[in-house]
Amino acid sequence: MQSKTGQWPSGLNAYNLLVIQSVVNNYPLKSPLDVKGFFDTRQHLTGGAKLTLNEIENKKLREKFGDARIHLCWSVPHKVIRQ
């Protein structure tokens, strides 16, 4: 079992890989927001459960680790990638 410190990067990596996979699956697109339900409807199998990207971010990472700054790990790279 991973420590809480080891779980945070693993969860972040899983989230980022699912975003990349979803972008590739829906290519070409200018933004993930162009795809209906990209973050809040489409489910991904992760850790034995089907979850949306929003559920992974909010319930699995933010809630578990209690740090709202975790959102910066997603919002800043997404903006850089789009430029």
Cα distance between residue 58 and residue 53, in whole Å? 9
Q: Is the pTM of this model over 0.85?
A: no
Q: How far, in Å, CA of 80 to CA of 48, rounded?
A: 31
Output the pLDDT for position 4.
Answer: 54
What is the token pair recorded at 71? 């959102």
pLDDT for 2-28, tens place per residue?
A: 445 556 567 778 888 898 899 999 999
Q: Give 58-69 as a DSSP string.
A: IIIIIHHHT-GG
Predicted confidence band of residue 1 (pLDDT cuts 50, 70, 90): very low
- Residue 72 and residue 50: Cα distance in Å, rounded? 24
3-class state of residue 43 by DSSP: strand
Is 62 or 30 the better-scoring residue by pLDDT?
30
Residue pLDDT, tens place only, 47-75? 889 999 999 888 888 777 776 666 666 55
